[in-house]
Amino acid sequence: MDQNFTELNPNDLPTESGHFGIYGGMYVPETLMTPLYELNQAYQDAKKDPDFNQTLKAYLKEFAGRPTNLYFAERLTEYCKGAKIYLKREDLLHTGAHKINNAIGQALLAKRMGKKRIIAETGAGQHGIATASICAKFGLECVIYMGEEDMRRQALNVFRMRLCGAEVRGVSAGQKTLKEAVNEAMRDWVTNVRNTHYIIGSALGSHPFPMMVRDFHRVIGEEARSQILEKEGRLPDEICACVGGGSNAIGLFFPFLKDKDVRLTGVEAGGRAIKNGEHAARFVGGKLGVLQGAKTWILQTEDGQIDATHSVSAGLDYAAVGPEHAFYKDKGRIDFGYASDEEALNAFKTLCKVEGIVPALETAHGIAYAIKRAKELSKESLILCNLSGRGDKDVQEAARVLGEDL
Ligand SMILES: *Cc1c(COP(=O)(O)O)cnc(C)c1O
C-alpha cells in the first residue's frame, strides 16, 4: 500500500491531457485532437452547470429507474457461512445493466453540443441497447457498430436495437468482435465529427472518455455508500465488481477511494486458462501498451500485436483495461483477482438458485469472487458486490455451455 495514497486528491485526476500517472492519455490521430479537446471543454462546463446536473438526475430517475436498491443477499450469506453480502442492484435499471447511466449522460452532452447523430460500439449488445434506447427517447440518429460474430451470437439484441430505430452496422474485420467494432466507430467519428458524438461504452479510450464515463457511473458508488451507512451504520470491509473496461467497477469504487479501511477488488475474466488467447485477465497476462487511444495494461504477443482473448462473457472479453484501474493498481489502492469461466458459471447458477436473481455472465465473475471471499471472512464482516446487470441476455449461452437443452 502506498503510504501517500490518502494525500492524493482523486478529484484532481487525471491531468489536463488525461494521464492517470503513466496511464491514459490521448493516443489518437491528429484529426481527433480538436474534437476531443472540444468534448473535454463541453464536459467540464456541463459538470459545473446545475441545469445539466438536474436534467441528468431527472432522466436517471424517471427513464432509468434510479436509485437502485442495495439488497441484503440473506440466503447467499447463509450459503457462504461468512461475511454478510450486499448486492448493488444495477440489474434493475431500464435496459438491464449499469450501461444506461453513461448512455444518458453522454447523450445529454451530445444534445448540449448540438450533435444530432450518435455512434457507438457494442460487444454483447448491452451498450448498444442502452444507446439505442436513449437516442429513441431524444430523437437522435443512432448508428451502432458491432462485430459480425457478436451479431450472430446476440441476434435478439440486434433486433432490439433496430426496434428502437438504430442502424446496426456489422463489422467483418479480424475476430469480428468488440475491438474491430471500436476501430470502425473511430473511423466513422473521424469522418463525421462535425455532427456526430461517439458514445464509448466503458471507461476506456482517449481522454476525456475514461474520466467522463467514470463520472457518469459515480452515482453507483455514491448511492451504495449512503445506503450501506443507513442499513449497517458503517462502511463495508470490502467491495468488489467485475472488470471488463472497468466502468461499473470504477463507478462503484470511486466514492470509496479515500476510505482507506475499505478494500477494493476488481475481478477480471480468467477464461479457460491463464494462457495466451484463453483469457482476458490483463493484470495477470498483460503488459504496458497502447490500444484505441489509451496507454494501459494490454494482452499482447511478444511482438506487441494485440492478443486474442477469451471469456464466457462477451462484456469482459477485451484486451485492454481502463487506464484508471492500472493507476490505482500501481498505487496499491485497488486489488485485482480473476474468476475462470467455470467459477463464473457456478456463481451464475448459485445466485439463481439461492436468491432468485439471474445475473449477467459478466456480473457472475464478481459474484464468484464475493462468494469465495465471504467464506474466508467472519460473520461480522460486510462485503458489497456490484450486480452490474441481469442475465436474460445470457440464458441461451449459459444453457449451451452447461450442456442443457432449451
Ligand atoms: C458491459 C458490461 C460489463 C463490463 O463492462 P465494464 O465497463 O467493465 O463495467 C459488466 N457487466 C455488465 C452487466 C455489462 O453489461
- Locate 346 and state its grid cell: 457456478
Q: Between these two residues, 396 and 142, which has the higher pLDDT value?
A: 142
Q: Which CATH architecture has domain 66-96+218-402?
A: 3-Layer(aba) Sandwich (3.40)
Residue 133 has pLDDT above 90, yes or no: yes
Which of 364, 317, 353 shows the shortest CA–CA distance to 91? 364
CB 17 within 8 A of CB 280: no
Peptide bond into 208 cis (omega under 30): yes
Residue nearest to atom 13 of ligand 1 (CA): 389
Instruction: Give the number of the atom of ligand 1 that is nearest the alpha carbon of residue 246.
Output: 8
Contact partners, residue 44, CB within 8 Å, separation at least 6: none
Specify the pLDDT at position 9: 58
Percentage of the residues of the chain whose pLDDT score is greater than 90 = 89
Query: Mean per-residue pLDDT for 342-362?
Result: 97
Q: Do the first three CATH levels of 21-61+99-209 and 66-96+218-402 match, i.e. the same topology? A: yes
Residue 5 has pLDDT above 50, yes or no: no
Q: Ligand 1 centre from 388 Cα, in Å? A: 7
Exposed (0-12), middle (13-18) or buried (19+): which is 43, by Cβ within 10 Å? Answer: buried
Residue-range domain boundaries for the chain = 21-61+99-209, 66-96+218-402
Query: Mean per-residue pLDDT for 162-175?
Result: 96
Spell 317-331 as b/e; 16+ CB within 10 A means b: bbbbbbbbbbbbbeb
Query: Mean per-residue pLDDT for 224-245?
Result: 98
Half-sphere exposure of 114 (CA within 13 A, CB side): 2
Residue 211 has pLDDT above 70, yes or no: yes
Query: Mean per-residue pLDDT for 175-182?
Result: 92
- Locate 177 and state its grid cell: 468482435
Q: Ligand 1 centre from 201 Cα, in Å? A: 9
Half-sphere exposure of 142 (CA within 13 A, CB side): 30
Res. 7 pLDDT band, cuts 50 70 90:
very low
CB 325 within 8 A of CB 266: yes
Q: Ligand 1 centre from 49 Cα, in Å? A: 28
Mean pLDDT, the chain, rounded, equals 94
CB 141 within 8 A of CB 135: yes
Exposed (0-12), middle (13-18) or buried (19+): which is 86, by Cβ within 10 Å? Answer: buried
Residue nearest to atom 7 of ligand 1 (CA): 247
Specify the pLDDT at position 406: 59
Active centre residues (catalytic): 99, 121, 388
Cα dihedral 371→223→248→212 (10° resolution): -160
Residue 205 has pLDDT above 70, yes or no: yes
The pTM score is 0.96
Query: Mean per-residue pLDDT for 228-239?
Result: 98
Contact partners, residue 96, CB within 8 Å, separation at least 6: 126, 129, 360, 389, 390, 392, 393
Query: Mean per-residue pLDDT for 97-119?
Result: 98
3-class state of residue 18 by DSSP = coil
Instruction: Give the number of the atom of ligand 1 that is nearest the alpha carbon of residue 390.
Output: 13
Q: CATH class for domain 21-61+99-209?
A: alpha beta
